[in-house]
Amino acid sequence: MRTIGLLGGMSWESSAHYYRLLNEGVRDRLGGLHSARVVMHSVDFAELESAMRADDWETVADHMVRAARSVEAGGGECLLIGTNTGHKVADRIADAIAIPVIHLIDVIADEALRLGLDRVGLLGTSYTMEQSFYRDRLATHGLRTVVPDQAGREEVNRIIFEELVRGVFRAESRSRLAEIVDEMQLGGVILGCTELELLLDDDDVACHLLPSTRLHVQAGLEWALH
């Protein structure tokens, strides 16, 4: 088994989900007392979120590059960047380290294509939904991206930052997210923020959900165990 590097802390609720899924995945595949070999660097999310709000992506990139180098130095043999929004600077990180970066958006695109989709919805932070980095990367795979209307985007972003990253999970927010997904009337919608899949699952909606973290973890496990 090779060692998976994880760049986390964005939020720590997200990183806990990554860590749990990685270990459950190894246990399910190898059995017994097996668990995942993981090196994680967890950042202080408040520092990065402040820079994001200021549109200072250079500072975000600097923080994440330093963290990624720490993961590499600690023995990580690949890197999972445990944040959808942070993939805005994924290429900068990949250029700064020698180990491979398993790119979350490419993994999601592979699943969308496997499902026969050519157009997908996207839920995430306002940065993920409104900036071009996510949809541009999906477009390289031949996928078109649809996001909710402005009111929907604001509500999704509010639920993420005011509730989910703080460990608050409300039934009414689950219902509202499900409404937003169903209103898009698409065959598949990306849960483009780890915390969203802590609240919403396939039973809540009428379409395929593409859970970014679960798909990312599966790709990491395939890499580590083969």
Query: Backbone phi, then psi, for 183, in 5-degree steps?
Result: -65, -25
**Residue 66: per-residue pLDDT:** 96
Q: Residue 62 CA to chain centroid, in angstroms?
A: 19
Indicate whether 92 and 40 sit together in one domain.
Answer: yes
**Residue 14: per-residue pLDDT:** 85
Indicate whether 65 and 126 sit together in one domain.
Answer: no
Indicate whether 88 and 140 sit together in one domain.
Answer: no
Indicate whether 123 and 45 sit together in one domain.
Answer: no
What CA–CA distance (Å, rounded) separates 223 from 203?
A: 29
Q: What is the CATH number of the domain that holds 196?
A: 3.40.50.1860
207: annotated active-site residue:
no
Residue 190: beta bridge partners? 122, 210
Mean pLDDT, consecutive 10-residue stretches, the chain (226 aa), reads 95 90 96 96 92 94 96 97 94 97 97 96 95 96 96 95 92 95 94 91 92 96 95
Indicate whether 73 and 147 sit together in one domain.
Answer: no
Indicate whether 42 and 96 sit together in one domain.
Answer: yes
SS3 of residue 193 by DSSP: coil
Write down the catalytic residue from 78, 83, 128, 194: 83
Indicate whether 157 and 67 sit together in one domain.
Answer: no
Indicate whether 191 and 219 sit together in one domain.
Answer: no
pTM: 0.93
Indicate whether 54 and 111 sit together in one domain.
Answer: no
Closest CA to 90 of 50, 121, 136: 136
Indicate whether 70 and 93 sit together in one domain.
Answer: yes
**Residue 10: per-residue pLDDT:** 87
Closest CA to 45 of 11, 17, 73, 3: 11
193: annotated active-site residue:
yes
What CA–CA distance (Å, rounded) separates 97 from 64?
A: 11
Residue 83 is part of which domain span? 4-103+214-225
**Residue 165: per-residue pLDDT:** 87
**Residue 226: per-residue pLDDT:** 86
Write down the catalytic residue from 78, 125, 193, 213: 193
Query: Backbone phi, then psi, for 5, in 5-degree steps?
Result: -95, 135
